[in-house]
Amino acid sequence: MISAYKEGLNFLDKDDGLSAAKKFNEAELLFPQSEWAPKSALMAAYSYYAYNYYGDSIYELEQFIKKYPKGKQQSAVMALLYLVQSQNNNWIPLAAMRYIAKFLDMSYIKVYEVATFYSMFSLAPVGKYFVQICTTTPCMIRGANNVLDVCKKHIAKNQNELSKNKLCSWTEVECLGSCVSAPMMQINQDYFEDLDEKKTEEIIQMLLNDKFPKPGSYRNRKNTAPENGRTTLLEVKNA
Ligand code: FES
């Protein structure tokens, strides 16, 4: 089983993500039947996909690099990872990291280090609707565990597991910087705030029906303004 996995990695090494299997079926034939076989085959197939994809996106990548001084093009690594993710169903394939390393003339491990450090980068497939639930202290004491339970009940028992209809997945994350609207969660690029169990259920049901709910406060607050109007700075206009 391990050797099948290694074989998958060697396959990617050999081809460097630039000329891997032309389609999933071909890739699947390269690996012996085992628990790891589909994963290895999938990686190879994605490798091919990444090559084609970035072949069409070179111009966009170059525009990012131009924003940095000459000789400092490696500073564009996060921007490039983010671009990859936003254009690849919210996750970054291994082959794309290799491609970025080559493109920026840096070692692959450095790209990998950046990609694995930030939770904003996903290195495995996620649902079309990727739900990130903050469970840091302010959200936790305001009921983040209830939000978590709803996701476990309706999306999947474990984090990073796809829902039965393959549309959603969820994960637990650290503070997303919106503590004033706790508890909250991020779905793809948007924040859903001031949640409770019932509101979370409604949101998740919409996602499972392939509809994107309205982001923002679920207690009808305007941004993070106090619910019952201002109590300070009353004399300051537009405070
Ligand atoms: S603790 Fe949840 S957003 Fe900060």
Per-residue pLDDT tens over the stretch 149-192: 999 999 999 998 999 998 999 999 999 999 999 999 999 989 99
Q: Give the model's pLDDT for residue 149.
A: 98
Q: 171 phi and psi, to 5 degrees?
A: -150, 160
pLDDT tops 60 at residue 43 = no
Q: Look at residue 70 in the predicted model and tell me its pLDDT.
A: 86
The response to whether residue 148 sits with its C-beta less than 6 Å from ligand 1 reads no
Model confidence at 31, in pLDDT bands (50, 70, 90)?
Answer: very low
For 233, the token pair is 């700075």
Ligand 1 centre distance from Cα of residue 135 (Å): 7
Q: What percent of the chain has pLDDT above 70?
A: 75
Which pLDDT does position 49 carry in this prediction? 47
Q: How far is the CA of 168 from the centre of ligand 1 (A)?
A: 22
At residue 36, the pLDDT reads 43
Give the pLDDT band of residue 124 (cuts 50, 70, 90): confident
Question: Is the CB of 180 within 6 Å of ligand 1?
Answer: no
143 lines ligand 1 (CB under 6 A): no
Distance of CA 28 to the CA centre of its chain: 26
The C-alpha torsion from 133 through 135 and 140 to 143, rounded to 10°, is 20
CA of 143 from ligand 1 middle (Å) equals 11
Q: Given ligand 1 and candidates 119, 136, 173, which is best to mutate, with the most ligand atoms within 8 Å of its CB?
A: 136
Cβ of 136 closer than 6 Å to ligand 1, yes or no, is: yes
Across the chain, what does the average pLDDT equal?
Answer: 80
Query: Going from the N-terminus, what domains does the chain have, and what CATH number goes with each?
Result: 2-117 (no CATH), 129-217 (3.40.30.10)
What is the rounded CA–CA span in Å between residue 225 and residue 232? Answer: 12
Q: What is the pTM of this model?
A: 0.70
